[in-house]
Structure 1
Amino acid sequence: MFDIGFSELMVIALVALIVIGPERLPRVARTAGHLFGRLQRYVGDVKADISREIQIEDMRKLQQQMADQVRAMEQSVNAQLGSVETSLNESIAQGLADKPAGALPAPENSGDKV
């Protein structure tokens, strides 16, 4: 995170010892350690939240793509069904037009007697 070497740490420790004093230095160091730990946890939580948000956004994009594909498939199936229905209606209409108006279809006899 920071590019601080051993010599820089020694200078910081020496200045802290002079400014803070030997009595309060352990307490200040402990407090600084706790604050640094909190900072690390906070940064870790923020990273995890960002990662989750990215995953959620990816899932939403995938869901939208799948919904678009389903709609396209549904439209394609409906178009196919419409063309089949139209051709069947035309065939039925043509078949009815070919038969005389008074003729009824002969009942089918399958050989079963009741």
Structure 2
Amino acid sequence: MFDLGWQEIFVIGTVALIVVGPKDLPKLFNKVGKVFGKIKQISREFYDQINEAAEMEEINNLKNDLSEHTSLDSYKIDPRSRVEKRNSGKFNEKK
């Protein structure tokens, strides 16, 4: 997360031991761990919400595209009139 190596962690631990003291050091590390856990949880929830919103937007776009392309509006598509129009001259000529 912060790209810390073992040397940096050792230096931070040593400074914390000197500043806080050996008695309160476990409490400090416990609080720091809880804070980092909470930050991780919040970032995960934020990431999940962003992905969910993006998926919903994509699904709505696909739904709209599909409904536009599969619309059977009688004013736009009238197969009966098309067939009658194509065949009107063919059947009249044979009689």
Where on the TM-score scale, by shorter chain, does this alignment land: which range? Answer: 0.7 to 0.9
Give the TM-score of the pair, scaled to structure 1. 0.63
Q: Provide TM-score, normalisation by structure 2.
A: 0.75
Higher relative contact order (CA 8 A, sep 6+): 2
> Aligned to 2:22, what secondary structure does the other structure show?
coil
% same residue:
29
- Unaligned 5+ segments in structure 2 are 86-95
Alpha-carbon distance between aligned partners in 1 of 2:16 and 2:34, rounded to the nearest angstrom: 17
Name the residue aligned to 1:67: 67
| Aligned-pair Cα RMSD in Å | 2.2
Q: Which residue of 2 aligns with 1:101?
A: none
Deviations 1:3-37 (A, max 9, x none): 21100000000111111111111101101111111
Note the alpha carbon deviations across 1:44-79, whole angstroms, 9 max, x for none: 1111111111110110100110121133x424324x
For these two proteins, the number of residue pairs brought into alignment is 85
Structure 1 runs, 4 residues or longer, greater than 3 Å off? 80-85
User: Structure 1: where are the runs of 5+ without partners?
Assistant: 88-114
Instruction: Mark the structure with the bigger radius of gyration.
Output: 1
